[in-house]
Amino acid sequence: MLSRSYVYGRNLLSIAIACICGSTALAGQAPSTVIVTPTRTRIVQLVQDAYRMRHLQVVSYQGPADSVNPVLYDWDGKSWKRNSIDEFQAKLPERVVLIGDPKAFPAVVVEAASRCEDTRIIQSFDATTILVEFSKLFDLNAAEISALAKNNGVTVVDRNADLRRYGKYYPGPGFQRKEDVPAKSASTGEIPTEPELTPIQSKIEPAKSVQPTAVQPTAAPVTAPAGKASGDIAPEDK
């Protein structure tokens, strides 16, 4: 007759194996969403934080709206790797999320993304607005929203404070439980003008078809793609 401890140990082993197999399958599965973000430090940090919470593909772009061959980079969780518009289009997942002003987006990127059936645009550079949209797109829970807000300087307002003071008793008609959401900033929602700043330096791994160029390493916890060697300026938030 099998002992109780033996059976308990076998059950724990089965659960552990199932968890490992599930994680392996998820790691091998391609992301269902790609986030295309401008090279702005604050936005890149927020997107990288979301990347650590969800299975996503992250692409950063540089270049004007009329750029025929904009500079694209893929984030693999550790460093940025140079990408081309053809490679970007070939790896389009089920959903594309574009961040930024549609008029300032490189037209070729918008055209390539439009071939995906589910293409969405977050027309803002405001961290609060982007976080609100992320909470809807990726079904973020309260703990995830709070973590993203804290790390990106966004204030979260408890909209259930009035309900909580009643304890377990329902306060009566007219009250409705609402989800905690980031507080809207005092800005008008207009996209700010990009300041001309020094390009952000980071670790870049060029594609096979591109000759590697020297870059300066940075000790910053959040990295963003460096500007092109030709002298193009990579804008960022004030």
Asked if residue 158 is part of any domain, the answer here is no
Q: Note the Cα 75 to chain centre separation in Å.
A: 10
Residue 14 forms part of a structural domain:
no
DSSP three-state, residue 21: helix
Closest CA to 237 of 79, 135, 156, 128: 128
Cross-strand partners of 96: 34, 119
Show the domain range for 124.
30-142+196-205
69 is a domain residue: yes
- Domain assignment of residue 43, yes or no: yes
Output the pTM of the full model.
0.61
Is the separation of the CB atoms in 92 and 132 below 8 Å?
Answer: no
Provide the 8-state DSSP code for 233: -
pLDDT at 236: 52
In a domain, 57, yes or no: yes
The whole-number mean pLDDT for each consecutive block of 10 residues of the chain, a chain of 238 residues, reads 52 52 52 92 93 94 87 92 91 92 88 90 92 94 92 80 61 55 50 46 52 52 56 49
Number of residues that make up the chain? 238
pLDDT of residue 157: 76
Give the whole-angstrom CA distance, residue 106 versus residue 61: 8
Q: Is 183 domain-assigned? A: no
Instruction: Name the H helices within 94-175.
Output: 107-113, 127-137, 142-151, 161-164
User: CB count, 10 Å around CB of 34?
Assistant: 22
Domains held by the chain: number: 1
Any domain includes 83: yes
One-character DSSP codes across 180-209: -EEPPPSS-SPPPPPP--PPPP--EE--TT
Check residue 16 and give left, alpha or beta (phi > 0: left; psi -120 to 50: alpha). alpha
